[in-house]
Structure 1
Amino acid sequence: MRFADRRLAVLSLLAVVPAALLTSKTAVLGAVETLAADPLLFGGAVVLLYLFRPLVLWPTTLVAVAVGYGFGIALGFPVALAGAVLTSVPAFYAGRWVAAGWNCGVVARLATAGSRFFDATGDFRGVVAGRLAPVPADAVSAAAGMGNVRLRVLAGGVLLGELPWTMAAVVLGNSFHTISTAGLGGVGTRLGVITTLAAMVLLAGPAYEHLVESRRSVGNRSQ
């Protein structure tokens, strides 16, 4: 790469974060696409995207598409999976901090709801089901923090729950000649149905137990 081209690529890299904060997903992915020819710069862009992804509430699969486009499947899959885990940590600790420091009103009710959910499902099962279901990843991570889930349990649950989403996104990104957010539409819908069913299967047992306990409690109170 010539010096002028490299300088332009560096400037593009430095523009990724402001672009993520101020412009559309398409514009940012276009900037990432221009860096794909330089592995070092592209790696830097991916790190920045994962670091700042929680601030703009982008889905992890969107960054995984870019990773698959630039790194391919063999390298892109572990990179994207690791990114999904690491980028869940800020929301997790934010949830824990909010629950500990603002334990009143709506926050207290949310923390209580999170604790009850993970008590009913089990910490690991709850995280896996939450990440399988097509709900915002940061909401699941924050709920885990509020529910006093351990960090290593969160990491393991994210790894397992994000497997199908990450693999689909990386394969999709690797197949693109041009990165496009539109390509996620059809695949995302079908995969969302499958992962939602998987989440429902995981939660069926705890839901049934909760229903039985609720009926038992009502029966005891009526006697």
Structure 2
Amino acid sequence: MNRRVRLALGGAVGLVVVLGLFLTSPAAFLSRLSWVAANPLLFAAVLLVVSVVRPFLAWPTTLLAVAAGYAYGLAVGLPFALLLMTVTALPPFLLARRARGTGRMTTVSEQFVERTGDFRSVAASRFLPAPSDVVSVAAGVANVSLVPFLLGTAVGELPWAIAGVFLGSSLDGLSGLSADSLASVVDVRLVAAVALVGLVVLAGPLYRHVTSQET
């Protein structure tokens, strides 16, 4: 591990520790963030920093969309939320791609992505109700190229970004949010509909992948 990687990891760990001292939950973070929203540039900078360290805190990605919607509304909040949700997918993806080995899981993942396509596999996987970081790690293990990963993430996170931004833009403040309300940002019917689209998109490549493993 070279010096730059050690410094980057050390800085990330330091940020996580500092944030952990003051923030006990995503809801607590949002309640403390309300006062920053009066300064749009500072608010954007804070959200960008949080998007980088969020994977290490295991917070939901919709937190970023809710905050963006609250501060900037639908028109500006949606593209900014997509940017944040794409940026926050990078740390687990890059770390997984750097640490990937040569075992069977890596081989199977690469074969599946080869049949499905980099962009298609990432976008469709994010339609499924799976944790965002799990999808990012899987893409890293499969050695998905960076640009298709970014584009696939932006497309795949779009439904969840819309839901989060819509909720955020309708709020009068962030202090009243709870962990339960954050968890229920996305309607179950939306989850089912988007997941069905993801399954349809992946059905053909997944079937070919499974049958090829059996032969």
Q: TM-score range by the shorter chain?
A: 0.7 to 0.9
Aligned residues: 197
Tell whether the 8 Å contact from 1:96 to 1:146 is kept in structure 2 after alignment. Answer: yes
Determine which of 87, 106, 109 is the counterpart of 1:114.
109
Residue of structure 1 equivalent to 2:48: 47
Residue of structure 2 equivalent to 1:134: 129
Write the mapping of 1:1-223 to structure 2, written as runs, cut at 5 A. 18-19=19-20, 22-99=23-100, 103=101, 108-179=103-174, 180=177, 181=179, 182=181, 184-185=183-184, 187-213=186-212, 217=215
SS at match of 1:36: helix
Partner Cα distance (1:90, 1:82) in 2: 14
- Report the Cα offset of residue 200 of structure 1: 0.5
Tell whether the 8 Å contact from 2:51 to 2:64 is kept in structure 1 after alignment. Answer: yes
Residue of structure 1 equivalent to 2:6: none
Q: Deviations over 1:168-222 (max 9, x none)?
A: 111111011233241551634222211211110111111333355456x3xxxxx
1:42–1:114: structure 2 CA closer, same or farther, 3 Å change rule?
same
- Report the Cα offset of residue 68 of structure 1: 0.5
Which residue type is aligned with residue 55 of structure 1?
F
1:94–1:26: structure 2 CA closer, same or farther, 3 Å change rule?
same
Tell whether the 8 Å contact from 1:17 to 1:49 is kept in structure 2 after alignment. Answer: no
Q: TM-score, normalised by structure 2?
A: 0.81
1:57–1:43: structure 2 CA closer, same or farther, 3 Å change rule?
same
Tell whether the 8 Å contact from 1:20 to 1:28 is kept in structure 2 after alignment. Answer: no
- Report the Cα offset of residue 153 of structure 1: 0.7
Partner Cα distance (2:76, 2:188) in 1: 26
Tell whether the 8 Å contact from 1:95 to 1:146 is kept in structure 2 after alignment. Answer: yes
SS at match of 2:173: coil
- Report the Cα offset of residue 121 of structure 1: 2.0
Tell whether the 8 Å contact from 1:50 to 1:87 is kept in structure 2 after alignment. Answer: yes
1:17–1:143: structure 2 CA closer, same or farther, 3 Å change rule?
same
Give structure 2 stretches of 5+ with no counterpart: 1-14
Partner Cα distance (1:47, 1:194) in 2: 30
Tell me which protein shows more helix as a share of its residues: 1
Tell whether the 8 Å contact from 1:17 to 1:52 is kept in structure 2 after alignment. Answer: no
Partner Cα distance (1:154, 1:33) in 2: 32
Q: TM-score, normalised by structure 1?
A: 0.79
Identity score, percent: 41
Which aligned segments of 4 or more residues in structure 1 are displaced greater than 3 angstroms? 19-22, 210-215
SS at match of 1:59: coil
Give structure 1 stretches of 5+ with no counterpart: 1-13, 218-223
SS at match of 1:152: helix
SS at match of 2:205: helix
Larger Rg: 1
SS at match of 2:184: helix
Tell whether the 8 Å contact from 2:52 to 2:91 is kept in structure 1 after alignment. Answer: no
Residue of structure 2 equivalent to 1:8: none
